[in-house]
Amino acid sequence: MIEVLSASRCIQCNQCVAVCPTNVFERIEDDVPVIARQSDCQTCFMCELYCPVDALYVAPEPEEVIGVTEEQLQQQGLIGGYREKVGWGKGRTPVAAHDYMYRLSLFAKF
């Protein structure tokens, strides 16, 4: 479930408000958006991918609020990790183009 929206990182682009398929965020005039409907979050991680400044963190647990803080995430280096792995963001190559997509098919059991 979405846990953290970092006010210090957020640039108020409101991309998360636009892209969340279950309308979890709410735009606030002249301020950062808020997580307005947390329990509607379906834990799909899409908001993290679309956030240009890695200001969002979705915890794996879909049914319960864990209560993780931005400081804890910073320490563990967990914020922004998914977008990096998917290869979105300036100067990155999308993982979709990765040679391993093909390579796995030579071995895959499924």
Partner 1 sequence: MANSLVLGDIQLKADVLVIGGGPAGTWAAITAASKGAKVILADKGYCGSSGATAPSGTGVWYVKPDARLRDEAKASRYEMGGRLAEHRWMDRVLDRTFANMNWLGEVGYPFPRDDQGELYKKGLQGPEYMRLMRKLVKKAGVKIMDHSPVLELLVDEHGVGGASGVHIQTNEKWTVQAGAVVIATGGCAFLSKALGCNVLTGDGYLLAAETGAELSGMEFSNAYAISPTFSSVTKTAYYSYANFYYEDGTPVEGAGSKRGRSIIARKLLEGRQVYAKLDQAPQDIQQLLRINQTNFFLPFDRKGINPFTDLFPVTLRLEGTVRGTGGIRIVDESCATSVPGLYAAGDAATRELICGGFTGGGSHNAAWAMSSGSFAGEGAAAYVKKLGPHAAERTLRSASSAQHATAIDQTGGLSTANKTEEIIHAVQDEVAPYDKNLFRSAGNLQASLQRLDELWKEQRNRAVIEPSSLGMKSREAMAMTATARWMYNSALARTETRGMHKREDYKSLDENQHYRLVSGGLDHIWVKPEAVQEQALVKEGEAV
Residue (9 or 72) nearer to partner 1, CB: 72
Binding site for partner 1 (CB under 8 A): 17-23, 27, 40, 42-46, 49-50, 59-63, 78, 81-82, 85-86, 88, 94-105, 107, 109-110
Cβ count near 11 (within 10 Å): 11
Residue (31 or 61) nearer to partner 1, CB: 61
User: Nearest distance from residue 103's CB to partner 1, in Å?
Assistant: 5
User: Nearest distance from residue 55's CB to partner 1, in Å?
Assistant: 17
Residue (63 or 71) nearer to partner 1, CB: 63
DSSP structure string for the chain: -EEEE-TTT--S--HHHHH-TT--EE--TTS--EE--GGG-----HHHHH-TT--EEE-S-SSS-----HHHHHHHT-TTHHHHHHT-STT---GGG-THHHHHHTT---
Residue (9 or 27) nearer to partner 1, CB: 27
User: Nearest distance from residue 25's CB to partner 1, in Å?
Assistant: 10
